[in-house]
Every structure is written in structure tokens, then in C-alpha cells.
Amino acid sequence: MRTKIFNIFSLILLSATGIILIALQVKPYGWLVYGAGLLSLVFAERQFAKHLLLVYVAIALLGITAITTDISYRHMFEMGLALVLVLIIPLTIARKFYKDKALIPYTFHHGRRWFRSEILYIVITAILSYFLLPFYLLNTGAYLNWNVEPGLSNIIRLFIGTNALGIWDELFFVNTVLGILIRHIKFGWANLIQSVLFTSFLYELGFTGWGFILIFIFALTQGYIFMKTKSLLYIITIHLTLDLILFLALIEAHHPEWLSIFIT
């Protein structure tokens, strides 16, 4: 019974770390909460502690990484390397040391064609994104968190950056974090925690203001869809559909005259 209490305590502190350390960037208190969560794993159930340690290690890497929308070559390389390590380290430990390939499965396709309802959902995502994202970016001024400069190189890097992060979000938060958590707790709670971490990361990235509400709902939905479809390809497609609208909305917000060339 005592170990189960520490299991719950570890999960609460993990979520709090995401909010305080990652989203709000209150580093001293964030690291204190992180340390308390890490310590609680010592008293938690052994298998639970082994698995959750992988998430804690990944969160520590995010905590020391400058998570910004800077698309300079140097920052894209440094942040990209850190995010790749966040994926690789838990996967390597799970497969090489824990000998558990099913813990982080990376199931890209469910072995069937997409249903019409699934294709329709992608279309609905595009329509909702078209109306919500531009309004959100302009209403909150969050578009200023992205620097959209003229030049083909800058536009290409912005496109690559937004899409690469979209893919990474699904590989880490939905596939890795949710995959680990559902081994030990009910899906609803696991999805809630991954959504908190998902939202914390994107809030630090630049989705400030009331954008966290949209992101949290989106993260919950993505987790649910993945549970139903078991297809990373499908949820990544959904995310990239949204990211395409985001890319165009950022250009429109910074340089509306660019898109007007194609409209007039």
C-alpha cells in the first residue's frame, strides 16, 4: 500500500515538474520538485520506478534544453540533438537494459486502410485549425514568439522546424510517455499526465496566452486516437495537418502582404 502511495506521489510530482520547470521556467523550484519526484521513485514499486525513471530522465534533458522557436542553424542543431536524445535514451534503456521492446513500441501503422471517418477527421482538423490558429496567434500576440524573416532559407527552416517538432511531439509524449504510463495506471490518468507534459512543452516553445487550453484538448484527443488506432502515422498526419495551417498562419500574421500576392 505504501509503495502505491509513492507511485501516485511520483506521478503528481512529474506533472508538477512539467508545469513549473518546463512551462513556467521557474528553474530553482522546478528542479526541487523534480528532485522530490525522483526521490519518491526509491520508495515506489520497483517495476513502476524503473519505467517512470525513463520519463524523468527525458524531462531532465528537456529542463536543460533551450526550447525556443529560434530557427538559426546553430539553435536548430542544438535543440534538435537534445530532442533526439530525449527519444533515443529511454528507447535504448528499455530495449538494451530492460529487455522490453513492448514498452516503447513505435507502431507506425495498424495494418489496415484508414476509415472514411478517420480521413474526415483530418479534414475537420484542417478546417478548425484554419479558423482557430490565426485568431489565437493575433488575439494573444503569440505569433511574436516566432521570428519570420524574409528569405527562402528562413521560410524553409520555419517549415522544417514546425513540422519536425510536430512529429517529435507525437513520438515522445503520445508514444513514449503514454506508452510507459499505461503499463501501470488507467488510460484516462495516463493520457491526462501526458497531456500536461505535452502542453507544458509547447507553452514554453511559444504557445503562450490561452493557447494552453487548445493544446491540452488537442493532446488529450491525440492520446485517445492513438489508443484506438495504434497508428503513429495517423496521429502524425493529423498533427502535420495542423502544423501546415500554423506555418501559413505565422506567415500571414508577420507578413500578410506575402500571401495576398497569391490571392489577388
pTM of the model: 0.94
**211-229 and 116-140 helices, crossing angle to 10°:** 160
Calculate mean pLDDT across residues 151-177: 96
Q: Give the torsion sign (CA, 187, 26, 164, 135).
A: positive
Q: Are 174 and 222 in contact (CB under 8 A)?
A: yes
Residue 258: pLDDT over 90: no
Percent above pLDDT 70 for the chain: 97
The two most distant CA atoms of the chain are separated, in Å, by 68
- Given this model, what pLDDT does residue 259 score? 59
- The model's confidence at residue 263, banded by pLDDT at 50, 70 and 90, is low
Is it the case that residue 261 has pLDDT exceeding 70?
A: no
How much is the pLDDT for 76?
A: 96
pLDDT of residue 71: 93
| pLDDT tens-place string over residues 52-108 | 999 999 999 999 999 999 999 999 999 999 999 999 999 999 999 999 999 998 988
How high is the mean pLDDT of the chain? 94
Q: Give the pLDDT mean for 185-213.
A: 97
Residue of 92 and 264 predicted with greater confidence: 92
Domain boundaries, the chain: 2-263
| Per-residue pLDDT, 4 | 86
Residue 237 has pLDDT above 70, yes or no: yes
The mean pLDDT value for 114-119 works out to 92
**For range 109-113, the mean pLDDT:** 80
Average pLDDT rounded to a whole number, residues 185-189: 97
- pLDDT recorded at residue 221: 98
The predicted model gives 159-164 an average pLDDT of 96
Mean pLDDT throughout 125-137? 96
Which pLDDT does position 262 carry in this prediction? 47
Please state, for a pLDDT cut of 90, what percent of the chain lies above it. 88
Three-state SS string over the chain comes to CHHHHHHHHHHHHHHHHHHHHHHCCCHHHHHHHHHHHHHHHHHCCHHHHHHHHHHHHHHHHHHCCCCCCCCCHHHHHHHHHHHHHHHHHHHHHHHHHCCCCCCCCCCCCCCCCCCHHHHHHHHHHHHHHHHHHHHHHHHHCHHHHCCCCCCHHHHHHHHHHHHHHHHHHHHHHHHHHHHHHCCCCCHHHHHHHHHHHHHHHHHHHCCCCCHHHHHHHHHHHHHHHHHHHCCHHHHHHHHHHHHHHHHHHHHHHHCHHHHHHHHC
